[in-house]
Structure 1
């Protein structure tokens, strides 16, 4: 029965019904959007796929590779000198190690460290029970439902830095989120660094595509954080990709040494596609990945003992009929889980082999199925840093605006899951039973009112309403709803403050460096 405001006696409802109705009114008048509590670290244990015996066999195979086959450092005589002084066997550009030698060198690396944000509230910890999510990396193309698929520009790069900054589920600004192809190759690192440093306050990655670009990245960061601070704290990362199988080219190893000398984080990431850069089996891929990564971690420690490092990987399976790469496959996912265990035994933070990765050409069911499989294995295995957590499409060729938003919802849900749930007195809500009774709902109890904004994860684009309402509202699919969401986030973005003197110093640095360089487009 409805209440007649002119005749209160017309209300024949019971006192309990009147109380519930009043509380529902208070509920609806509150600020209803879900408040996402900050992630406070993994509470559920990591899943161990392999036994200690199996892990030891993989580690022994890594030692066999390093002893019998070795790793080549092409063109980097300084790296070869470091290894020679450490007692490795040098044959031309090939380096071999006695079993256990490289692991002993890696022991100098910290098991946990901080990456400092320009805003201290955005500082993250790598290692332990911490999980750090970051957007995709390296795509030359972007796509959205309005403009379609196209080459990425500096505007797109800036857009994704802003979106990552605005996303609570991402803790890191990323690196080359997309390749700004409208800027010369030799100059674009300057614009990318300027965007990371001014449009976001989260940790970020610098350039590694040439030694001078690595040094530029460090110098720009020093303008913001100060040299003394960076001598003692890591604020940025270098993505060192091994030229698998078993090769470090001079570009990557030189960049590794530059970042290590500056005390900044080095993430060493072999890239092994099973059957192409290494044998087919997950065990072989895991062993080769471990071997290649340990050598890079060891070099960082020889350059600067205690240099913060991350044991990374990027691996996938192939369609052996066509040669096309596949992502989210069970074999690749099992390899991810094994590598996380191996990284924990090595004693350094682990970057996952993937994130929300897919070979799909559209943000469709296949994309989300591939991505979900890869993300589950990554997070449940206990990885500390997850790259490509948002936006990845077409095997990494494309950053999709819509998939970025769809992935953010899944990131938030997974972070909520990793924290488990409480079993304290408040969680049981005993007071709510006294406010209501058998057969009555709990929606308007005090316990519900205390927790309704944080109790359940609330995705931003899911539609859980009835079919009729969905149809009346245009029958929008998830990717179409994601289009509206990323536009909304872009419109609501608020640029973080920066001292004008620092802003001017950064812009002057970029202008001066660009003036010293000819345009190089290839």
Structure 2
């Protein structure tokens, strides 16, 4: 006698179950990437050796005195014409001794992530000076309140694995107050790993005092740093920026992990040819790595080679192009081939509205970077208008998009159970379909992601429900989150100490 089938729960119960966090998340962050390889092994080597030639024969200009001393001490050479040359053996020593993996800590340890290997995480970046207003649907200057709101909004979005300020508070004039209040917004509103930038090196030490207060006392932040720094020490083409180099020194002194970002633009500050661009931008990012190596070998650094594209007809930045997709995928492939923690920038749509252009450009560029195995994919949530804008609705839409991307990266598990021989036989010889079978129910929650924003209704039901587009649905979701989620991850005592010490606006 056949065993009785397990009784199905009602539809309402199944819907309620899916609203809770599943026992097995079908698409968690950190899925493996690397299946997409836009470059062959021979092409990787040609680009790499061209980068080494650039560093050995052309070198880097405008090297600050302090850094020049440190570089010469580890084997760099002067060319007598104001440029510092890097012998290939020095570059390869820096690669060999670089941190290959490291932890980006959250203040909540359960939210920490390990960077490196083939793990893929989406996060934020950007310095948008305009915000797409959640109520009017028009752009306006970004404010400090916007930064607080974006921070608490993303705090509940599971696919934003770390949060870097996505907008600049244009209503804060003084640069020190801007840096301080940016960090405060992150501390108050999230316990995820975070990242910030420092306008000047002298801002680092006092802000570390604020981080120590949040960490529990003097010196505590350095023991388990939960904030990294975004720094652009290279100015394309092929020279250092003194202020940013000073910030690198200050961050290493205070044990703040760093993302050293190269952001050349094809046809403007780097060659227009894609291969030439990759050779120069790789050389520049390697120069950042050698810089870190000369200061403290093995210090945690994200190898952030971000190829950026301009429209050569107009000179306008183009963040949503096919060229952006393939260049950042190739950058991730190069970095991973070298064994370095990779950072790339994708999902930087040029669209101003939450429209078809927005969806196409974000989907194209973000999945290319993920499939290529970018460890940290920056700018991937919320950014619009070629990085000039940021949107609350975009944050929640992008979060759902990332779930689909992670599901694609997860791939297909081929096991005896999943091949379903017995289930096929049972369906063919029994009811003639797979609806209601235990094999189907087991797969339903384990293997499938069910979006909450994307509309899958038939047209009549969609019309009866108000014929809403994705922008409207996302606006309602963002408004609901901001109405109900107002965390304060600083205790009253910590908040008071910070306010006593700093000008919190």
Q: Give the TM-score taking structure 2 as reference length.
A: 0.90
Once the two structures are superposed, the pairs formed by residues 57-206 of structure 1 within 5 Å of their partners are: 57-73=46-62, 76-90=64-78, 91=80, 94-144=83-133, 146-147=135-136, 148-174=138-164, 176-186=165-175, 187-206=177-196
Once the two structures are superposed, the pairs formed by residues 68-467 of structure 1 within 5 Å of their partners are: 68-73=57-62, 76-90=64-78, 91=80, 94-144=83-133, 146-147=135-136, 148-174=138-164, 176-186=165-175, 187-225=177-215, 228-241=219-232, 242-352=234-344, 354-424=345-415, 426-427=417-418, 438-439=430-431, 441-450=433-442, 452-467=444-459
Q: Secondary structure at the match of 2:180?
A: helix
CA–CA distance in 2 between the matches of 1:335 and 1:415?
21
The 8 Å contact of residues 144 and 402 in structure 1, kept in 2 or not, is answered as: no
The 8 Å contact of residues 136 and 399 in structure 1, kept in 2 or not, is answered as: no
Partner of 1:472: 464
Partner of 1:31: 17
Q: Secondary structure at the match of 2:263?
A: strand
Q: 1:57 to 1:491 in 2, by over 3 A?
A: same
Q: CA RMSD in A?
A: 2.8
CA–CA distance in 2 between the matches of 1:336 and 1:445?
43
Measured against aligned partners, the alpha-carbon deviations of 1:83-120 in whole angstroms (never above 9, x if no partner) come to 12223223575322223322322322110010111000
Q: Secondary structure at the match of 2:499?
A: helix
Structure 1, unmatched stretches of 5+, are 1-15, 515-522
Q: 1:447 to 1:488 in 2, by over 3 A?
A: farther
CA–CA distance in 1 between the matches of 2:498 and 2:399?
31
Q: 1:442 to 1:268 in 2, by over 3 A?
A: same
The 8 Å contact of residues 206 and 214 in structure 1, kept in 2 or not, is answered as: no
The 8 Å contact of residues 207 and 214 in structure 1, kept in 2 or not, is answered as: no
Q: Secondary structure at the match of 1:399?
A: strand
The 8 Å contact of residues 163 and 490 in structure 1, kept in 2 or not, is answered as: yes
CA–CA distance in 2 between the matches of 1:392 and 1:29?
32
The 8 Å contact of residues 397 and 474 in structure 2, kept in 1 or not, is answered as: yes
The 8 Å contact of residues 117 and 336 in structure 2, kept in 1 or not, is answered as: no
- 2:483 pairs with one of 482, 491, 499: 491
The 8 Å contact of residues 311 and 318 in structure 2, kept in 1 or not, is answered as: yes
Q: 1:430 to 1:60 in 2, by over 3 A?
A: closer
Deviates more, 1:279-288 or 1:467-476: 467-476
The 8 Å contact of residues 344 and 350 in structure 1, kept in 2 or not, is answered as: yes
Q: CA deviation at 1:453?
A: 4.1
The 8 Å contact of residues 392 and 400 in structure 1, kept in 2 or not, is answered as: yes
CA–CA distance in 2 between the matches of 1:301 and 1:230?
23
CA–CA distance in 2 between the matches of 1:508 and 1:444?
63
CA–CA distance in 1 between the matches of 2:230 and 2:415?
42
CA–CA distance in 1 between the matches of 2:150 and 2:134?
16
CA–CA distance in 2 between the matches of 1:347 and 1:287?
17
Q: CA deviation at 1:64?
A: 1.9
Aligned residues: 495
Deviates more, 1:239-248 or 1:90-99: 90-99
CA–CA distance in 2 between the matches of 1:356 and 1:295?
26
Q: Secondary structure at the match of 1:269?
A: strand
Q: 1:428 to 1:43 in 2, by over 3 A?
A: farther
Deviates more, 1:40-49 or 1:356-365: 40-49
Q: CA deviation at 1:57?
A: 1.3
Mark the structure with the bigger radius of gyration.
1
Q: CA deviation at 1:449?
A: 4.7
The 8 Å contact of residues 210 and 498 in structure 2, kept in 1 or not, is answered as: yes
CA–CA distance in 1 between the matches of 2:352 and 2:119?
32
The 8 Å contact of residues 98 and 293 in structure 2, kept in 1 or not, is answered as: yes
The 8 Å contact of residues 207 and 217 in structure 1, kept in 2 or not, is answered as: no
